[in-house]
Amino acid sequence: MDSLTHIVLGAAIGEAVLGKRIGRKAMLIGALADTIPDFDVFASPCFSDAQQLLVHRGITHSFFFILLTAPFFGFFLGKLMKTTEVSWKRYAWLFLLGMLSHILLDSMTAYGTGWFEPFSSYRVAFDSIFVADPFYTLPFLICVLIAFVAKNGSSTRTKWNNIGLWVSCLYLLFTIANKNHVHSIVKESFSKKTNLSVDFVTTPTPLNNFLWMSYGTDKSGYWFGYYSIFDKNRNIEFYHINRKDSLLKSFENNESIKILKQFSKNYYVMSQHDSTIYFNDIRFGQLGGWNGPDSAFVFSFKLNKNSDNFAALSRTKFKTSFSDALASLVIRIKGK
């Protein structure tokens, strides 16, 4: 999830664990604890663009890292705070809960989270919420802000913090139930397509949990379809995009390709624009894909044999502006 969401969640956990003992400091410490796993971004300059994809949400997002470092952070903060009101074990407990909530929330997105590093490179991804969802974050943020400005130890602070946590939990449960609902509808539609395999994925589109993208594989590529929970018709229209593996022939021994395949879980298509070849991770969808197959993929990796490969996330490559794509998204969410 985005950094703001992690800060809000951490602050709420901090208040719930230590708010009555140390006041607003608990929220600040909780926000810090929930942010620690993302400190892996500071290591990015040491790795290539492709390697950075696996470094992020890697070892610092693992149970091993959390169990190893939570006592250390707790002990250090206990010495730093120099107070008898809270033992270092209580601080360690807060760091443990904060970091655990971080990796659990991240695992609900499509990016993939390395829970089992360094013992396994498997990335956990439940695909039930987009990496940034204002319908989740904004109500939670409002509740936590009200709690933050309330007096230390007041019932108002406790009440609004608890409301925020309940809103958070209920929305996350909604996303899971919603995914199961959409998944069953997509499965029914896929079953009507005799040329499709049973291997298909459902994942929410950007900034919401109402419009969902689905994709299923066949021998030559993928079938894409979109479904809004407000659609009146459950018959999903699918379009096909070829994988175009032939474009990878000149990059067979490229280490970046191996990393990208691992990161994308082999859900990718290749494309070429002018003389440049792109590796497209389809898990993050297309900007405007709900309107047709010609939309550019949100996550593309530019391949160039003569220089370092790098991510091509610039919107200059997109055929529509972000504002136009957002307006189009809202229209499609309303259903058809």
Q: How confident is the model at residue 313 (pLDDT cuts 50, 70, 90)?
A: very low
Q: How confident is the model at residue 316 (pLDDT cuts 50, 70, 90)?
A: very low
Higher pLDDT, 100 or 320: 100
* 315 pLDDT above the threshold of 90: no
DSSP code of 46? Answer: G
Judged by average pLDDT, the poorest of 79-93, 158-172, 260-274, 292-306 is 292-306
Q: For 11-32, what is each residue's pLDDT tens digit?
A: 999 999 999 999 999 999 999 9
What was the pLDDT predicted at 98?
Answer: 97
* Mean pLDDT, residues 110-139 taken together: 96
Q: CA-to-CA distance for 302 and 278, rounded, in angstroms? A: 5
What was the pLDDT predicted at 293?
Answer: 86
Higher pLDDT, 203 or 296: 203
| Helix (H) and strand (E) counts in the chain | 9, 8
What was the pLDDT predicted at 196?
Answer: 64
Q: CA-to-CA distance for 336 and 314, rounded, in angstroms? A: 31
DSSP code of 133? Answer: -
* Residue type for position 52: Q
* Mean pLDDT, residues 321-334 taken together: 88
What was the pLDDT predicted at 319?
Answer: 59
* 307 pLDDT above the threshold of 70: no
What was the pLDDT predicted at 194?
Answer: 58
Higher pLDDT, 49 or 224: 224
* 212 pLDDT above the threshold of 70: yes
What is each CA distance from 86 to 14, 19, 32, 91, in whole angstroms? 13, 11, 17, 7
* 140 pLDDT above the threshold of 90: yes
What was the pLDDT predicted at 52?
Answer: 87
Q: Would you say 128 and 175 are in contact if contact means Cβ atoms under 8 Å apart?
A: yes
* 163 pLDDT above the threshold of 90: yes
What was the pLDDT predicted at 253?
Answer: 79
Q: CA-to-CA distance for 121 and 88, rounded, in angstroms? A: 32
What was the pLDDT predicted at 189?
Answer: 86
* 264 pLDDT above the threshold of 90: yes
Helices 88-106 and 3-22 cross at an angle (nearest 10°) of: 160
* 312 pLDDT above the threshold of 70: no
Q: CA-to-CA distance for 104 and 212, rounded, in angstroms? A: 21
* Mean pLDDT, residues 160-172 taken together: 98
* 308 pLDDT above the threshold of 60: no
* Mean pLDDT, residues 154-174 taken together: 97
